[in-house]
Amino acid sequence: MSVFPFESGRGRGGLADDVCRRIADEIVLGNFAPGSRLDEVSLAARFIVSRTPIREALKQLAIMGLVDTRPNRGSVVAELTVDQLDQMFEAIGELEAACARHAALRMTEADRARMLELHAEGRAAMQNGDIDRYDAANLELHATIIRGCYNPVLIDMATSLRHRVSPFRRTQFRNLERMGESFEEHSVIVEAILAHDVITTYREMRSHLLSARSATNRVAPAWGIPSNSQQKLKGESA
Can you spell out the DSSP letters for 137-164? HHHHHHHHHHHTT--HHHHHHHHHHHHH
Q: What is the pTM of this model?
A: 0.80
- Indicate the burial class of 11 (C-beta count within 10 angstroms; 0-12, 13-18, 19 or more): exposed
Inform me whether the pLDDT recorded for 49 exceeds 70: yes
Domain 82-237 CATH superfamily: GntR ligand-binding domain-like (1.20.120.530)
Closest CA to 172 of 217, 227, 202: 217
The CATH class, in words, for 5-77 is mainly alpha
Q: For residues 55-61, give the mean pLDDT.
A: 93
Q: Which residues of 73-101 are buried (b: 16+ CB within 10 A; e: fewer)?
A: eebbbbebebeebbebbbbbbbbbbbbbb
The single-letter code of the amino acid at 77 is: V
pLDDT band at 238 (very low <50, low <70, confident <90, very high): very low
Q: Please give the angle made by the CA atoms of 227, 68 and 60, to the nearest 5 degrees.
A: 105
Is residue 170 within 8 A of residue 220, CB to CB? The reply is no
Closest CA to 1 of 70, 49, 72: 49
Inform me whether the pLDDT recorded for 76 exceeds 80: yes
Task: Please name every residue paired with 76 in a beta bridge, in sequence order, or none if there are none.
Answer: 37, 68
Inform me whether the pLDDT recorded for 29 exceeds 90: no
- Indicate the burial class of 152 (C-beta count within 10 angstroms; 0-12, 13-18, 19 or more): exposed
Inform me whether the pLDDT recorded for 5 exceeds 80: no
Give the whole-angstrom CA distance, residue 88 versus residue 94.
10
Task: Please name every residue paired with 77 in a beta bridge, in sequence order, or none if there are none.
Answer: 67
Provide CATH 1.10.10.10 ranges for the chain.
5-77
Is residue 80 within 8 A of residue 30, CB to CB? The reply is no
Closest CA to 111 of 146, 63, 85: 146
Question: Within 10 Å of residue 109's Cβ, how many Cβ atoms?
Answer: 7
The single-letter code of the amino acid at 171 is: T
Share of the chain above pLDDT 90, in %: 63
- Determine which of 14-18, 65-69, 225-229 has the lowest per-residue pLDDT on average: 225-229
In this predicted structure, what is the pLDDT of residue 163? 87
pLDDT band at 235 (very low <50, low <70, confident <90, very high): low
In this predicted structure, what is the pLDDT of residue 11? 40
- Determine which of 21-30, 92-101, 219-228 has the lowest per-residue pLDDT on average: 219-228
Is residue 2 within 8 A of residue 56, CB to CB? The reply is no
Q: For residue 108, which phi and psi values (nearest 5 degrees)?
A: -80, 170
Model confidence over 128-157: pLDDT tens digits? 999 989 999 999 999 999 999 999 999 999
Is residue 34 within 8 A of residue 68, CB to CB? The reply is no
Provide CATH 1.20.120.530 ranges for the chain.
82-237
